[in-house]
A and B are shown apart, each in its own frame.
Chain A
Amino acid sequence: MRVSVQSDDFDITNEINNLRINRTDLGAIATFTGLVRDIHDNKNIKKMTLEHFPIMALKELNKIGVMAKDRWPIEELTIIHRYGELFPGDQIVLVITTSLHREAAFKAAEFIMDMLKTDAPFWKKEELEDGSRWVMSNKDDNDKKDRWK
């Protein structure tokens, strides 16, 4: 399991290839990439700053990864979450899961994203054309997490 909290961008192809080294048994690789959008709640986003709680961010992402591996037959797993200043189109988060069959890879990747949204200590602040605002958590994210109970 590879978990990284970093300011640098990531290369999806490299990350996938790292999980395939010497593995010809894998039948499925699922990837999810979260991106900065240029519009949110009808406002143009100029920049997004991601604040985080470093020790806990790493710890919680590891915990979520372990939970996913306990629930599904995942072979390998990568979670990368960025922090710092990001701009529309930039990559924020990457989840890769590999398994022998697709169902485990799909489900685990979705589970990891749903858990990460509410449990990993990151906070987004958007810079708009007329000021800035902290992104509010939404109920929908909590509902999505709860469906895995």
Chain B
Amino acid sequence: MNILYFASIREHIGVSSETIPHQAGIDNVNELLIYLSSKGNNYKIAFSQVDLVRVAINNEYVGLEHKVYPTDEIAFFPPMTGG
């Protein structure tokens, strides 16, 4: 899975993208978030307020229950503040 991070989430984690090998037990966004949060304190802080985490898979906004597949590009970012 190719993972992208933007804005404050990118800053907390320290990279703008990374590739995560597909793991057993990661079937949806929520499970991916739990896995990522276990990778280190920087991830834990980035995802500490799950209600402020927005997700897009293959350039479509999705919810936390959305299924994830090994070929997906999954983006995590905070609520938008443009305009």
Contacts and interface: CB of A to CB of B under 8 A. Distances in A.
Interface of A: 34, 50-53, 55-57, 59, 81, 92-93, 113, 116-125, 134-137
A93 to B, nearest CB: 5
A116, A119, A123 — which one has the most chain B CB atoms within 10 A of its CB? A123
B4, B6, B61, B75 — which one has the most chain A CB atoms within 10 A of its CB? B6
Given A56-B56, A119-B61, A137-B79, 11 more contacts: A51-B7, A55-B59, A81-B82, A117-B82, A118-B80, A121-B82, A122-B83, A123-B6, A123-B80, A136-B81, A137-B78
A50 B82 contact: yes
Interface of B: 4, 6-8, 10, 56, 59, 61, 75, 77-83
B59 A137 contact: no
B8, B78, B83 — which one has the most chain A CB atoms within 10 A of its CB? B83
3 A-B pairs closest in CB distance: A122-B82, A137-B79, A123-B7
21 contacts: A53-B4, A53-B56, A53-B75, A53-B77, A81-B83, A93-B82, A113-B83, A116-B83, A117-B82, A118-B79, A118-B80, A120-B83, A121-B82, A122-B81, A122-B82, A123-B6, A123-B82, A134-B78, A135-B81, A137-B80, A137-B81
A122 B8 contact: no
Nearest to B8: A134
A34 B83 contact: yes
A53 B81 contact: no
A123 B78 contact: yes
Given A53-B75, A55-B59, A116 B7 contact: no
B82 A120 contact: yes
Contacts of B78: 123, 134, 137
B83 A123 contact: no
B6, B78, B79, B80 — which one has the most chain A CB atoms within 10 A of its CB? B80
Nearest to A123: B7
Nearest to A116: B83
Contacts of A137: 78-81
Contacts of A120: 80, 82-83
Contacts of B75: 53, 56
